[in-house]
């Protein structure tokens, strides 16, 4: 009797145990595996910026207008003598190649995205694009000089791997030159050679364009580091590029460059809120490098600053010319030691002709610079007279 009463109890316990074992996980949350599984890295965060951010951010630093060839373009509100893109800042070598560190708060955008164009009526204007690069420039070099120029809009279309040439030569006025020894100066604008030197320096230098893509990274290799170490006579150290979370000025530190570098999506429907007419831009753009000083009578301080700039321009021109002459003479002395007799005389005549030719070029450059500086001074005098009246 006792055994019979135990049988139902046994079946009840067995049934209860099976129910405990069979408690499934919810469909949305599968049971943990006994084996360790590989986890894929999280995807890159989706960019919260698109091209409309350019329109919004840069509106307070310049003017937007519609260009017949490029759509909406921007001109900066800059009141600096002889301002050109890639002049007020410095160069650094980073893991992205030659990287421009602008002194302007807004410099993170137009010197790293898009292209710069120029016309006589509008001056320099920026065409926005959404691909980031360390600097959209092409280069020139010689034993004495380093030069660079903005790559114009439309010069490169649909490139996929590498840019090693441009479809046409740039006007000599596009180029910015410094003596090699000043290339890494933090205030590089103080050492830029007068534009009157450009025409000859373009002839005396070799162009080098080398911008490559490695995955999603754009690298401006430009002039080889070893070559620049020889030209600048200094050891080049690589800086790590570190992204910042907010827009603002670029900071160069001992071993890194801090720069706002957002991923920007294309937004074809985006447009600036305030667009001015092209004719209004043309009225505002100063036709002379004097810039703001032409709009009104200069203060004593501004007049003094301009005088100092003029002196520095002449000094830079004369010093660079002297170095060229010294280099040519040194080449002749080295060559003369290797030669004898008639051959030595013939080479001597050749170098003498080259020396005279170079001196004439230098004199022409100097006269052009003097002429420009005198014109600027006369315009300032006229403004001062009008102010007194």
Q: What is the 3-state secondary structure (H, E, C) of 346-374?
A: HHHHHHHHHHHHHHHHHHHHHHHHHHHHH
Three-class SS state of 22: coil
Q: Convert the pLDDT of each residue in 192-203 to its tens digit.
A: 999 999 999 999
- Please report the pLDDT score of residue 6 as a whole number: 52
pLDDT, the chain, mean = 84
Stated pTM of the model: 0.83
In 3D space, the residue among 181, 183, 187 whose CA is nearest the CA of residue 233 turns out to be 181
- How many independent structural domains does the chain possess? 2
Query: What DSSP string runs through 309-341?
Result: HHHHHHHHHHHHHHHHHHHHHHHHHHHHHH--H
- Please report the pLDDT score of residue 288 as a whole number: 38
Residues 358 and 314 in one domain: yes
Residues 280 and 304 in one domain: no
The residue out of 285, 315, 337 marking a domain boundary is 285
Residues 134 and 157 in one domain: yes
Q: Which helix (H) or strand (E) holds 116?
A: strand 115-119
Residues 326 and 203 in one domain: no
- Please report the pLDDT score of residue 280 as a whole number: 79
Is pLDDT at 358 greater than 70 in this prediction?
Answer: yes
Residues 53 and 167 in one domain: yes
Mean pLDDT on 330-343: 80
Tally: H helices and E strands in the chain = 7, 18
Mean pLDDT on 375-382: 84
- Please report the pLDDT score of residue 50 as a whole number: 94
Residues 140 and 249 in one domain: yes
Q: Which residues of 248-287 are buried (b: 16+ CB within 10 A; e: fewer)?
A: ebbebeeeebbbbbbbbeeeeebebeeeeeeeebeeebee
Residues 258 and 114 in one domain: yes
CA dihedral 47, 51, 52, 54 (to 10 degrees): 110
The verdict on residue 192 lying in a domain is yes
Q: Convert the pLDDT of each residue in 295-332 to its tens digit.
A: 555 677 778 888 999 999 999 999 999 999 999 999 88
Residues 323 and 232 in one domain: no
Lowest mean pLDDT among 60-74, 124-138, 295-309: 295-309
Is pLDDT at 177 greater than 60 in this prediction?
Answer: yes
pLDDT class of 24 with cuts at 50, 70, 90: very low
The verdict on residue 295 lying in a domain is no
Residues 56 and 93 in one domain: yes
Q: Convert the pLDDT of each residue in 71-80 to its tens digit.
A: 999 999 988 8
Structural domain containing residue 318: 300-388
Residues 304 and 155 in one domain: no
The verdict on residue 36 lying in a domain is no
The residue out of 228, 260, 285 marking a domain boundary is 285
The verdict on residue 174 lying in a domain is yes
- Whether residue 74 contacts residue 96, with contact meaning beta carbons closer than 8 Å, is answered with no
Mean pLDDT on 345-356: 88
Residues 208 and 341 in one domain: no
The verdict on residue 7 lying in a domain is no
The verdict on residue 267 lying in a domain is yes
Only one residue has tokens 């000083």, namely 293
The verdict on residue 129 lying in a domain is yes
Residues 281 and 321 in one domain: no
The verdict on residue 201 lying in a domain is yes
In 3D space, the residue among 53, 176, 46, 47 whose CA is nearest the CA of residue 106 turns out to be 53
């Amino acid at each position: 009797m006792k055994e019979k009463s135990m049988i139902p109890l046994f079946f009840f316990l067995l049934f209860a145990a099976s129910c405990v074992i069979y408690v499934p996980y919810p469909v949305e949350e599968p049971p943990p595996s006994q084996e360790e599984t590989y986890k894929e890295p999280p995807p890159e965060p989706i960019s919260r910026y698109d091209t409309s951010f350019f329109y919004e951010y840069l509106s307070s630093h310049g003017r937007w207008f519609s260009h017949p060839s490029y759509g909406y373009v921007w001109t900066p509100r800059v009141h600096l003598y002889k301002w050109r893109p890639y002049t007020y800042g410095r160069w650094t070598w980073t893991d992205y190649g030659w990287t421009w560190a602008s002194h302007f708060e807004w410099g993170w955008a137009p010197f790293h995205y898009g292209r710069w164009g120029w016309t006589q009526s509008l001056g320099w204007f920026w065409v926005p694009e959404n691909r980031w690069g360390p600097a959209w420039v092409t280069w020139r070099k010689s034993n004495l000089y380093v030069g660079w120029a903005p790559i114009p809009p439309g010069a490169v279309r649909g490139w996929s791997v590498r840019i090693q040439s441009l479809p046409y030569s740039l006007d000599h006025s596009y180029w910015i030159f410094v003596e090699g020894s000043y290339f890494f100066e933090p205030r590089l604008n103080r050492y830029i050679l007068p534009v009157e030197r450009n025409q000859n320096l373009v002839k005396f230098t070799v162009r080098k364009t080398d911008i490559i893509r490695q995955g999603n990274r754009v690298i401006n290799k430009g002039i080889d580091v070893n070559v620049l170490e020889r030209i600048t006579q200094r050891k080049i150290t690589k800086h790590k590029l570190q992204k910042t979370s907010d827009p603002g000025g670029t900071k160069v530190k001992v071993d890194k460059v801090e720069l706002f570098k957002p991923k920007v999506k294309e937004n074809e429907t985006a447009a600036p809120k305030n667009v001015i007419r092209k004719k209004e831009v043309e009225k505002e753009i100063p036709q002379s490098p004097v810039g703001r000083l032409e709009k009104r009578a200069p203060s004593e301080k501004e007049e003094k600053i301009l005088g100092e700039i003029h002196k520095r321009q002449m000094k830079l021109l004369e010093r660079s010319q002297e170095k060229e002459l010294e280099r040519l003479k040194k080449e002749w002395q080295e060559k003369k030691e290797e030669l004898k007799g008639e051959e030595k005389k013939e080479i001597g005549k050749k170098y003498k002709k080259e020396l005279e030719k170079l001196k004439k070029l230098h004199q022409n450059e100097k006269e052009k610079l003097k002429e420009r500086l005198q014109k600027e001074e006369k315009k300032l005098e006229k403004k001062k007279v009008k102010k007194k009246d």
